[in-house]
Amino acid sequence: MSESLTGLKRSHYCGTVKKDLVGQEVTLMGWVHRRRDHGGVIFVDLRDREGLVQIVFNPEIGEELFQKAEAVRNEYVLAVVGTVGLRPEGTINPNLTTGEIEVAASEVRILSIAKTPPFYIDDEVDVDEMIRLKYRYLDLRRPIMQKGLMLRHKAIKVIRDYFYDNGFLEIETPMLTKSTPEGARDYLVPSRLHEGEFFALPQSPQLFKQLLMVAGMDKYFQLARCFRDEDLRADRQPEFTQLDAEMSFVEREDILTTMEKMIAQLFKKCLDVDIKTPLPRLSYQEAMERFGVDKPDLRFGLELVDVAEEVKDCQFKVFAQVLEKGGRVKGINATGCAHYSRKDLDDLTKLVGIYGAKGLAYFILTEEGLKSPIAKFFTQEQLERIVTRMEGKPGDLLLFVADEAAVAAAALGHLRLELGKRLNLINEEEFNFLWVVDFPLLEYDEEEKRWVAMHHPFTSPVEEDMPFMETEPGRIRAKAYDMILNGVEIGGGSIRIHRRDIQELMFKRLGISLEDAQEKFGFLLDAFEYGVPPHGGIAFGIDRLLMLMAGRNSIRDVIAFPKTQSAMDVLTQAPSSVASRQLKELHIKIKN
RNA sequence: GGAGCUGUGGUGUAGUGGCCUAACAUGCCUGCCUGUCACGCAGGAGAUCGCGAGUUCGACUCUCGUCAGCUCCGCCA
C-alpha cells in the first residue's frame, strides 16, 4: 500500500509555495489535512510544518492517479509532483497564505496510510488534555503547537547568540551529581557501583557555576535541564529548562543590565516587540505593600491600601484586635463593583480563605450612601476617612482583610488578580517587565523553628544590613533579584558570598554547623580558599518565558513532551516498574 | 497531605429519578457530485453514560468510595 520515495526530492515546503513559482514544477511532501471530493475534481490540502497548499487532481491526469487521489484519507502522507498555477478567477482563498495559487498534480505517491486520528488536527479543536498527551505526536501536528516549538527554537538561538556575542562561555555541568540539603526534593539515581549510595539530578547548576567562576571562566551560561521532585502546577514541571548564567567581578547592576538587554533582544528578534530598558526596579517591600505579592502584575492598578490609621480607633473588634497583635488591615477598591451580589461576595470571600484570611469585610458605596454589615462599628467620621483614603466613590466596592501581614498580603494580592481579571483590566497583548530587588536574606520557618535562606545560603547580604545578623535577621536585605513578567517570576538570582567569614556567619545563622557545612558543601568551601572572584548570576525559567511569549496558559504547551499533574508521561507510561534483575544490580528492594 | 471543577459514541457537548430503546454537532463508512477550501446532498455504522458499591419498584441522573485529568493551597533554597 505504501509507496517508495525513491527518485523524489522535496523542492519546497507546502506553506512556502507562492505566486512567484507559477508555471514551475514542484515536489511537495506532507500530510493530507483535508480532502474535498467533487466527483469530477478532487482537492487535497497538503500540510507540512510551514503551512497548507491546495493540490488539485483533475480527471485528465489519468485514471490511475485519480483513483489514488480518491483513496486518500486524512493524515495520509503524500509526495506530490505538480505544476504551480494561479487559481481561476473567484476561487482565491484570502484565509490561506498560499490562497492565490494551487498545485495541479501530475504524480502522487502515498508514502504512508494513516488511521483516522482520535481528534481533528486543527487549532480550533478543544480536546481533553490527556488525549492530547497520549497522542502527543498528533497534537504536535497542530499549527499552534508547531508555532510554539518553532518559537522556542528561535528564542534559544537568539539567547545563545546574545551570550556568545557578549563573551560568555557555554559550559555543561553534570546531570549525575550530589544530593544537597535545603531546597526542593531531589530526584535520586541509585549507584550500581556504590551500594546504597545515590546520585541526585541537579535542581540547578548553582554550585557548579560558582566553581566555574573560581576556575576563572569569568562569564558562563548554559541552557540546563533541571529537576525538582515537587508537586506540579500550570507553570511547574518536574523537569524544566533553565537559562543559567554567572559573571565574575560584577555588582548587581552589571547583571541586571546584561540580562535586561538580553531579554530586550529576545523580544525584538522573536516577536518584534520593543522592551524599554532599563526595566523598572521595585523593592520587595514596596511590592508586598502595594501588590501583596513578590511578583506583581503591573498591567493594571487596584493597589492595596493600608487603612490601619483610619480604623485604629473603631469599635470593630476584628480590626482592632488584629492591629493590637501587630497585624495589618488593608483594603482594595473594587472599582465599579457596588452591584456585586451576595454570591459574588461569597466567592471572593472563599478566594481569600484559600490564603488563610478568616473573612472579607466590605463597604458598598452607592448614591444613597454606604452599605455594610459592619458600618455600625464605625463613626460617620471614621467611615468618611476610610472612603477618602480608599478613593471610593459611588458605585465602588471596598474590600478589606485584617490579618497578620503575610496573610493579608497574600489574600489581597490574589484578590487583586481576580478583580483584575473580572474587571477586564488586563491587556493580554502587553509585556510588562520589572525587577524586584532587595529581597529579605532570611525568612523564619515556623515548622523547623529556624531561619532559612529565602534564595539560597550563598546569597550575599547587603553589607550595611550585616549588623542585624544577630539582632533582627528578618531585616537583612539580600543582593537578590527576580525578573517579573506579567505577574510571573521568569528569572531570579543574586550576588554570591565570596568571603569566607561572611559565609561562616551565614551558616551559623542558618543553624548549620561548620562540620555540617564542610560535609555538605565542603567542595565549594574548599574551592573558596583558593582565590574567589566576587561573582553573581541569574537563572531564567525558559519554559515560563516561552509560555508568556507564545501567549499560552500552561508551560505544557511549549514543552514537546510534558508530564501530567501527577508527574506521569501518559505517552510512554513512565514511570513504570522495572525488572527485578535491574533492581538487584542497584541493590534496591521494594517494600511490600 | 488538602480544596475545587470535570469524566456520556472517535472528538466536543445535551440530557436534575420513569418521557432514554440515550439526543445534537462533528468525525467515520457507502453512494452521488468538475471549483471547493469547515465543499454539498442522500443513506449507514458507532455508547454496557470513568470504575465499584449503595439507596430505590426503577439510576446517565441521588449517596458513598475509587481512579484519571485540570486548577489551586501546602510544597517549590
Strand nucleotide closest to residue A356 (CA to C1'): B73
Q: Are A451 and A412 members of one domain?
A: no
Q: Which residue has the cell 526534593?
A: A185
Query: Is residue A585 one of the residues assigned to a domain?
Result: no
- Looking only at the bridges linking them, the beta strands covering A239-248 and A281-283 are unpaired
Q: How many CA atoms lie within 13 A of A130 on its CB side?
A: 6
The Å distance, CA of A45 to C1' of B75, is: 49
Q: Are A412 and A448 members of one domain?
A: no
Cα A444 to Cα A442: distance, rounded to the nearest angstrom: 7
A374, A395, A422 — which closes off a domain? A422
**Average pLDDT of the segment spanning A125-131:** 88
pLDDT score recorded for residue A101: 97
Q: Evaluate if residue A592 carries a pLDDT over 80.
A: no
Query: Is residue A526 one of the residues assigned to a domain?
Result: yes
Q: Evaluate if residue A194 carries a pLDDT over 80.
A: yes
The Å distance, CA of A312 to C1' of B54, is: 56
Q: Are A505 and A401 members of one domain?
A: no
Which positions in strand B are less than 7 Å from the protein's CB atoms? 1, 10-13, 26-29, 32-40, 68-77
How does residue A184 score in pLDDT terms, banded at 50, 70 and 90? very high
Return the closest-CA partner of residue A248 out of A210, A212, A213.
Answer: A213
**pLDDT tens-digit series, residues A235-290:** 999 999 999 999 999 999 999 999 999 999 999 999 999 999 999 999 999 999 99
* Helix, strand, coil percentages, rounded to 5, for chain A: 35, 25, 40
Residue nearest to nucleotide B31 (CA to C1'): A39
The Å distance, CA of A39 to C1' of B41, is: 12
Q: Are A546 and A512 members of one domain?
A: yes
How does residue A142 score in pLDDT terms, banded at 50, 70 and 90? very high
Q: Are A201 and A310 members of one domain?
A: no
Strand nucleotide closest to residue A229 (CA to C1'): B76
Query: Is residue A128 one of the residues assigned to a domain?
Result: no
- Cα A157–A158–A161 angle (5° rounding)? 85
**Average pLDDT of the segment spanning A557-574:** 95
Query: Is residue A122 one of the residues assigned to a domain?
Result: no
Strand nucleotide closest to residue A130 (CA to C1'): B69
**pLDDT tens-digit series, residues A31-60:** 999 999 999 999 999 999 999 999 999 998
The answer to whether residues A43 and A103 touch, using CB atoms and an 8 Å cutoff, is no
pTM: 0.94
pLDDT score recorded for residue A520: 86
Residue nearest to nucleotide B36 (CA to C1'): A36
How does residue A429 score in pLDDT terms, banded at 50, 70 and 90? very high
**Average pLDDT of the segment spanning A418-442:** 95
**Average pLDDT of the segment spanning A526-537:** 95
**Average pLDDT of the segment spanning A484-493:** 97
Q: Evaluate if residue A124 carries a pLDDT over 90.
A: no
Query: Is residue A138 one of the residues assigned to a domain?
Result: no
**pLDDT tens-digit series, residues A503-529:** 989 999 998 888 888 888 889 999 999
Query: Is residue A587 one of the residues assigned to a domain?
Result: no
pLDDT score recorded for residue A568: 94
Q: Which residue has the cell 490562497?
A: A99
Cα A72 to Cα A58: distance, rounded to the nearest angstrom: 15
What element of type H or E holds A144?
helix A143-165
Query: Grid coordinates representing A406?
Result: 503575610
A371, A398, A422 — which closes off a domain? A422
Q: Are A399 and A347 members of one domain?
A: yes
Contacts of A287 (CB under 8 A, 6+ apart): A293, A294, A295, A296, A436
Q: Are A450 and A558 members of one domain?
A: yes
Strand nucleotide closest to residue A443 (CA to C1'): B77
The Å distance, CA of A570 to C1' of B53, is: 29
Strand nucleotide closest to residue A556 (CA to C1'): B70
For the four alpha carbons of A58, A63, A68 and A74, in that order, the dihedral sign comes to: positive
Q: Are A570 and A501 members of one domain?
A: yes
Query: Grid coordinates representing A589?
Result: 528492594
Strand nucleotide closest to residue A355 (CA to C1'): B73
CATH of the domain at A77: 2.40.50.140
Q: Are A270 and A156 members of one domain?
A: yes
**pLDDT tens-digit series, residues A20-34:** 999 999 999 999 999
Return the closest-CA partner of residue A556 out of A568, A569, A543.
Answer: A543
Q: Are A268 and A307 members of one domain?
A: no
Domain that holds residue A181: 146-282+433-580
Query: Grid coordinates representing A96?
Result: 490561506
Cα A69 to Cα A71: distance, rounded to the nearest angstrom: 5
The Å distance, CA of A571 to C1' of B24, is: 32
Query: Grid coordinates representing A337?
Result: 463593583
A422, A443, A463 — which closes off a domain? A422
For the four alpha carbons of A529, A226, A513 and A498, in that order, the dihedral sign comes to: positive
Q: How many CA atoms lie within 13 A of A104 on its CB side?
A: 14
Number of domains in chain A: 3
The Å distance, CA of A235 to C1' of B15, is: 36
Cα A557 to Cα A554: distance, rounded to the nearest angstrom: 6
The Å distance, CA of A70 to C1' of B10, is: 22
Residue type, A493: G
Average pLDDT, chain A: 95
Return the closest-CA partner of residue A244 out of A217, A268, A270.
Answer: A217
Contacts of A307 (CB under 8 A, 6+ apart): A329, A330, A331, A386, A389, A390, A400
